[in-house]
Amino acid sequence: MAQQHDTGRPLTTAQQQLFSRTLDRLAEKVAADEPTLGVEFPYVTAPDGKWVLMPASRSAGYSGEAWSHGNWFCGFWVGLLWTAYLHTGEARFRTWARERMQLVAQRADDGNTHDIGFIFESSAIPGFHITGERWYADVALQAASRLRARLVTTPRGAYLSSWGPLDDPRGRRSSAIDTMANLPLLYWAARHSGDASFRLAADAHAAMTEQGFLRANDSTYHAVEYDEATGARTRGFTFQGSGDESDWARGQAWAIYGYVESARETGKRHYLELAERTATYYLAKLGDRLVPPWDFDAQGEDAAIKDTATSAIVASAFLELGDVHPDPARRETWRARGLDTLAGLCREEFATEDTHRGLLRNSCYSRPHREGVVSATLFGDYFFTEALARAAMPGRLLPAHGPAALQP
Ligand code: GLY
């Protein structure tokens, strides 16, 4: 039986006004940028503040030994358009979202990347939730089938391979912490289709990630490789962090986000504990700062480079914890922490100047690759937007349902 569920203390007037003003600015920026993009999608901002663009069609892949994520963020732009539509009620945002979705939909059959979760959970799922048009749900379900097909089974458990086609052994044995935040597509598909295998695949991945990624102190590896024959981790390493053993801040955020969604969808109390443990580690490292460095172990000048995308992801995850937690006091603490983080981002990191086209300043896509460093990132802007929507218009961007009854 589902437990009693309340959505938490209402926003204060000051919070309501701040979030509403920020959503106004978001809608203005998105409306100004949309006609300038052609058929491409924003990605990171350049040093002059303009968006750098990429077509939706660019898939992930290896070029020699070098891995490229390709366009894993096109769906996020659609999520911004849906949010602007919900906030303003202006039909042009809904039209743009549909047009953009036509470009994004070509990726629903992409067998190269786990990021298919990010692409469709931010675009097609809100599209279906808001309009009820079946096409969005069909596209999301097709993408979810592709993601489920990435499940690699081993004697110790099963994981979703992250990077590359499954017939490439490099892709097959690899998994990244980011995958935890791709699981909501599978959870949605299970609910929508009634086929529990989507949820079981996500649950299996979340369980194996605990074994493979969590260090003894509750920090996380960015990526691991598994021995398929035994299920043992053969190495932990990084792609975007400062070192293989370092604490890449965004990776920690993906873990928190994925475990709270897994707790909500599976009802497993253990996932709630993992969400709180990884969040507690993150907060201890963060100290009294609003925004973490891109990597908690970055040294010298690099340590001054921040990542607001991490703050946005954790703000959204904390709001979810504030919704899912069975203990009213803990629920209130997490909700307050999520709202404070979100309000801090609105006040201190939202780019109000016209020359800066992204929403949040000071995100860092990849310091090792020197890409989008001290920049806006579209994924950071999306998770900021998702957190705003969760706070200011709960249940309207993404389906809201009470948490599954938590099991011991
Ligand atoms: N690949 C996801 C990230 O950059 O966090």
On the question of pLDDT at 1 being above 50, the answer is no
DSSP 181-213: GGHHHHHHHHHHH--THHHHHHHHHHHHHHHHH
Three-state DSSP state, 44: strand
On the question of pLDDT at 3 being above 50, the answer is no
- Write out pLDDT tens, residues 357-385: 999 999 999 999 999 999 999 999 999 99
- Write out pLDDT tens, residues 268-321: 999 999 999 999 999 999 999 999 999 999 999 999 999 999 999 999 999 999
On the question of pLDDT at 177 being above 90, the answer is yes
On the question of pLDDT at 345 being above 50, the answer is yes
Write the residue with the smallest CA distance to atom 1 of ligand 1.
Answer: 178
Q: What is the pLDDT at residue 408? A: 59
Q: What is the pLDDT at residue 405? A: 76
- Write out pLDDT tens, residues 204-263: 999 999 999 999 999 999 999 999 999 999 999 999 999 999 999 999 999 999 999 999
At residue 61 the predicted structure's pLDDT band, cuts being 50, 70 and 90, is confident
Q: What is the pLDDT at residue 4? A: 44
- Write out pLDDT tens, residues 40-55: 999 999 999 999 999 9
The DSSP secondary-structure symbol of 306 reads: B
Residue 310 CA to ligand 1 center (angstroms) comes to 10
The dihedrals phi and psi of 53, each to the nearest 5 degrees, come to -115, 155
Q: What is the pLDDT at residue 5? A: 52
Q: What is the pLDDT at residue 246? A: 97
On the question of pLDDT at 63 being above 90, the answer is no
- Write out pLDDT tens, residues 15-34: 999 999 999 999 999 999 99
Residue 178: CB within 6 Å of ligand 1?
A: yes
Q: What is the pLDDT at residue 2? A: 38
Three-state DSSP state, 90: coil
Q: What is the pLDDT at residue 400? A: 86
Is pTM beyond 0.95 here? Answer: yes
Q: What is the pLDDT at residue 404? A: 78
Proportion of the chain above pLDDT 90, given as a percent: 91
Cβ pair 258, 183 in contact under 8 A: yes
Query: Which residue reads 């490789």 in tokens?
Result: 225
From 227, 244, 355, 240, select the one nearest 294 (Cα to Cα).
240
Query: Which residue reads 């598994």 in tokens?
Result: 226
The DSSP secondary-structure symbol of 10 reads: P
Residue 254 CA, chain-centre distance (Å), reads: 7
- Domains in the chain, CATH or no CATH each: 13-392 (1.50.10.10)
Residue 69: CB within 6 Å of ligand 1?
A: yes
Q: What is the pLDDT at residue 46? A: 97
Residue 307: CB within 6 Å of ligand 1?
A: no
Q: What is the pLDDT at residue 21? A: 98
At residue 6 the predicted structure's pLDDT band, cuts being 50, 70 and 90, is low
Residue 240: CB within 6 Å of ligand 1?
A: yes
Q: What is the mean pLDDT of the chain?
A: 95
Phi-psi region of 336 (alpha: psi -120 to 50; beta: other; left: phi over 0): alpha
Residue 115 CA to ligand 1 center (angstroms) comes to 9
Query: Which residue reads 């052994």 in tokens?
Result: 169
Distance of CA 94 to CAs 28, 51, 350, Å? 15, 22, 24
Residue 250: CB within 6 Å of ligand 1?
A: yes
- Between CA 137 and CA 125 the distance in angstroms is 7
Q: How far from each other are the two terminal CA atoms of the chain, in whole angstroms?
A: 14
- Write out pLDDT tens, residues 99-135: 999 999 999 999 999 999 999 999 999 999 999 999 9
Q: Structure tokens of 166? A: 């499954």
| Mutation pick for ligand 1 pocket among 178, 220, 221, 248 (CB with most ligand atoms within 8 Å) | 178
